[in-house]
């Protein structure tokens, strides 16, 4: 129960159980909790949902500029908002539209096409890079066997990392001003996962190709790509959030395409520099 003064201004909150336990003659002002949590009508619904979730509230009063109570938000409303925002974020992460029910194929295609074109441009950039490293690939054809694995791990690592950051920003668990903390965590995590994956890739490449120099380049490239992808997946959503752009846009096609291109540069660049005995 919320308490207002004669002008309708919010002055306190009175839990029902507390009220029933008090003598009927006792004034409400002596029992109520003063300065209860409240929000204003102009606050974004996602921020309101985060506020309710953070403070574990069942209801939340809404007041105008003069602190006059104009409404109450219930936990059920917050659940609907969180579901709606989650659906929207997932759609943006995938580069598509969240409206599926009666949406025409034309509208769905129009929503997806821009992101697919972004991905296409990125992959065309990969083609240009492969052409640039044609000499290296001709000298050591076995390098091309592992390009899909290097690109896939970079893209997957970036998606995993950015998805965690985007979710944390949506729920309020991630503080945008603590970039260094999250970068350090992802750096350690990617070093561990990248090291394990690189070890497996080293063993597989030795079985398939039997060249320890090439296997070493593969392993080193895998660790480097994984670390770089994790850093990109961490920093870009945080930067977009600081700029006022929805960080959900940072995942999906953009992160994957960016990491694909950088993975090729790292992998074939290292091969060109380190495999002189094979490619020379």
In this structure, are 121 and 257 located in the same domain? yes
In this structure, are 169 and 232 located in the same domain? yes
The answer to whether residue 77 sits within a structural domain is yes
| 110-119 b/e (C-beta count within 10 Å ≥ 16 → b) | ebeeebeebb
- Please identify which residue in the block is written with the tokens 């190709």: 209
Ranges of the chain whose pLDDT falls below 50: 278-280
Q: CA–CA separation, 51 vs 57, rounded Å?
A: 8
In this structure, are 137 and 252 located in the same domain? yes
**Which residues, in sequence order, are CB contacts of 239 under 8 Å at separation 6+?**
none
The answer to whether residue 88 sits within a structural domain is no
Q: CA–CA separation, 214 vs 40, rounded Å?
A: 62
In this structure, are 126 and 66 located in the same domain? no
Mean pLDDT of the chain: 79
In this structure, are 170 and 250 located in the same domain? yes
The answer to whether residue 98 sits within a structural domain is no
The answer to whether residue 97 sits within a structural domain is no
Which pLDDT belongs to residue 227?
Answer: 93
What range defines the domain where residue 236 resides?
111-279
The answer to whether residue 101 sits within a structural domain is no
- Domain count for the chain, please give it: 2
Q: What is the pTM of this model?
A: 0.65
- Asked if 227 contacts 268 with a C-beta cutoff of 8 angstroms, the reply is no
In this structure, are 55 and 120 located in the same domain? no
3-state secondary structure of 123: helix
The answer to whether residue 100 sits within a structural domain is no
- Asked if 186 contacts 234 with a C-beta cutoff of 8 angstroms, the reply is yes
- Please identify which residue in the block is written with the tokens 């949902």: 49
In this structure, are 200 and 67 located in the same domain? no
The answer to whether residue 176 sits within a structural domain is yes
CATH of residue 167's domain is: 1.10.357.20
Domain boundary pick from 47, 66, 83: 83
In this structure, are 241 and 140 located in the same domain? yes
CATH of residue 35's domain is: 3.10.580.10
Which pLDDT belongs to residue 279?
Answer: 47
Cα 123 to its chain centre, rounded Å, is 22
The answer to whether residue 135 sits within a structural domain is yes
Percentage, residues of the chain above pLDDT 70: 84
In this structure, are 255 and 218 located in the same domain? yes
Which pLDDT belongs to residue 238?
Answer: 85
In this structure, are 183 and 128 located in the same domain? yes
In this structure, are 75 and 119 located in the same domain? no
Beta strands in 51-94 (DSSP E): 59-63, 69-74
Domain boundary pick from 35, 63, 83: 83
In this structure, are 30 and 126 located in the same domain? no
């Amino acid at each position: 129960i919320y308490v207002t003064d004669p002008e309708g201004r919010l002055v306190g909150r009175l839990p029902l159980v507390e009220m029933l336990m008090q003598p009927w003659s006792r004034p409400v002002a002596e029992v109520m909790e003063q300065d209860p949590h409240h929000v204003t009508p102009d606050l974004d619904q996602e921020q309101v949902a985060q506020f309710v979730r953070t403070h574990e509230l069942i209801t939340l009063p809404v007041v105008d500029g003069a602190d006059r109570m104009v409404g109450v938000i219930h936990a059920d409303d917050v659940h609907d908002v969180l579901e709606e925002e989650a659906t929207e974020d997932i759609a943006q992460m995938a580069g598509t539209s969240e409206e599926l029910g009666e949406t025409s194929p034309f509208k769905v295609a129009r929503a997806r096409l821009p992101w697919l074109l972004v991905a296409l441009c990125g992959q065309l950039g990969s083609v240009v890079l492969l052409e640039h490293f044609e000499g290296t690939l001709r000298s050591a054809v076995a390098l091309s066997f592992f390009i899909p694995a290097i690109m896939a791990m970079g893209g997957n690592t970036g998606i995993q990392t950015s998805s965690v950051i985007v979710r944390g920003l949506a729920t309020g668990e991630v503080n945008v001003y603590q970039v260094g903390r999250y970068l350090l965590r992802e750096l350690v995590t990617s070093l561990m996962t990248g090291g394990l994956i690189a070890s497996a890739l080293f063993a597989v490449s030795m079985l398939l190709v039997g060249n320890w120099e090439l296997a070493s380049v593969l392993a080193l490239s895998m660790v480097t790509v994984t670390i770089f992808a994790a850093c990109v997946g961490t920093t870009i959503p945080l930067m977009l959030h600081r700029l006022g752009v929805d960080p959900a846009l940072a995942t999906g096609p953009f992160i994957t395409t960016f990491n694909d291109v950088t993975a090729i540069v790292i992998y074939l660049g290292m091969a060109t520099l380190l495999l002189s005995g094979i490619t020379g």
